[in-house]
Every structure is written in C-alpha cells, then in structure tokens.
Amino acid sequence: MSDSKNKNETDPTPPAIHSDMEKMPGLHRNFIWRGIQLLLQPLFVVWFRYRATGFENLPSRGGALLLINHQSFLDPLLVGIGLSRPVSYLARDSLFRIPVLGALLRSTYVMAINRKAAGTESLRLSINRMKEGFLVGVFPEGTRTPNGELGKLKPGFVAIVRRSQSPVIPVGICGAHRAMPKGARFVYPKKVRVHYGKPLDPEKIKELTKRGREEEFVEYVTDQIRQAMHEAGC
C-alpha cells in the first residue's frame, strides 16, 4: 500500500482545503508569543513543576473553544505556554490603553471588549477568531476561585457555543490558586498541572444548547471541566 493512499485514508481533507487552513492566522505563533514561551517554559517547569497533558485532544488545525476553570491570574499563561498554536483571550479594553501592556496584549492575540457591550462584543469577537482558526480561551466562572474548587458557571458562554461550529474543549487547571492566591503579592513555588480534556460530544451540544435547555448544558459543561480538573490532579 502506497504512502499517498495511507495518507488519504487517514486524512480525507482535500489538499486545497489543507492549503487554505494552513494560511489561517490562528495556526501560527508570532515571534513575541514564541519569545514568551521560550522565556517562561523553563521557569514554569522549575518553579511550578509545571506539566500539561491531553494535547492529543486539541485539534491540529481550525478553531476551537477552550472552556477553562479559573484559579489565578496565571491561568492564560498556564493554558497557552505549552502549545504550538496561540490561544486568544478576551480582556477589557481599558487595559489596552496602558503603555507597553496594551501593545503586549495586541501582539499576543488578546481581544479587547467594552464592558458596556461585553455580551454581544465577546460573542462576535470569539466567533470571528475561531473562524480565523484560533483557539479561543474562555473562563465560564467569570472570576477566580477563592479555594481551588470549580465555581458556578455563568451561562454567557452558551451563546458562543451555540453560534460556533468549532470543537469545544474542557480544560482543567490544578494548583494555580496555591501558586498565586487572590490578593497575593508573590508567586509561590507550588505544583501546577493542566489537562486538556476530550472535546464535548457534538450531539449533546446540539441537543442541550436548544432554547430552554441551557441549564442542562451548563451542568454538562460543569461536569466535563470538573473531570478535566480531576485529570490534572485536583
């Protein structure tokens, strides 16, 4: 059996589509993203004994929505630091007006949202970024946990899932609340683990995101994020 035949059997996507997808901006890190990774990866491994698992559950190309538990300000870095693709997050637009920080946020794919129109703007920006092939990171709790436990998920993310045709990946972070607790002035050398869970069942997504079943979907996602946290060691 020829190599080309094996390739076609395992990957039926036409070459022309592969070529278009490879041009998507969300597949490639810029030099600033790479530089941050080169700087922080060894530091995180030593200081936090950082490990991440479940990379095989992430798509190699195309957009995806990452639903992540929120333990500390370190979380965006912890989720993205070991990936070969960039992750795009949302942040309030006032941060972009701060010198240096604003430029850094723009160059690391962060999306600016106005709090007065946060719901509709976050939906539009997130959908557009996934269409560009980005992994988009969302923290459904909306705020950091005070004790490491998964808090109640706010239902705003359901609209993004409903409008998106991209895979939805639960991500569990464990230990970051000890490394950088709420109100902490220092980052402590505590063990931190991240696990990228299996994509949510598309049939369940389709069924549970119907009008009137949002609460069931939130419960389903809660269970999946909690499972990812368990796999991370919580």
pLDDT score for 4: 39
Nearest-angstrom CA–CA distance, 63 and 146: 31
As to burial, measured by CB atoms within 10 angstroms (0-12 exposed, 13-18 middle, 19+ buried), residue 229 is buried
pLDDT score for 204: 93
- Find the range with the poorest average confidence among 55-59, 118-122, 141-145, 219-223: 118-122
User: Nearest 5°: phi and psi at 42?
Assistant: -65, -35
Residue 171 pLDDT > 90:
yes
In whole angstroms, how large is the CA radius of gyration of the chain?
A: 18
pLDDT (tens digit per residue) in 179-228: 999 888 899 999 999 999 999 999 999 999 988 899 999 999 999 999 99
- CATH code of 26-232, in short, is 3.40.1130.10
pLDDT score for 136: 95
pLDDT (tens digit per residue) in 63-100: 999 999 999 999 999 999 999 999 999 888 888 888 88
**E-strand stretches of the chain:** 51-53, 64-68, 87-88, 90-92, 111-113, 135-138, 168-174, 193-196
Nearest-angstrom CA–CA distance, 56 and 136: 17
pTM as predicted: 0.87
Is the CB of residue 109 less than 8 Å from the CB of residue 33?
yes
pLDDT score for 28: 86
- Find the range with the poorest average confidence among 6-20, 107-121, 152-166: 6-20
pLDDT (tens digit per residue) in 145-155: 989 999 999 98
pLDDT score for 21: 54
The number of CA neighbours under 13 Å toward the Cβ of 34 is 6
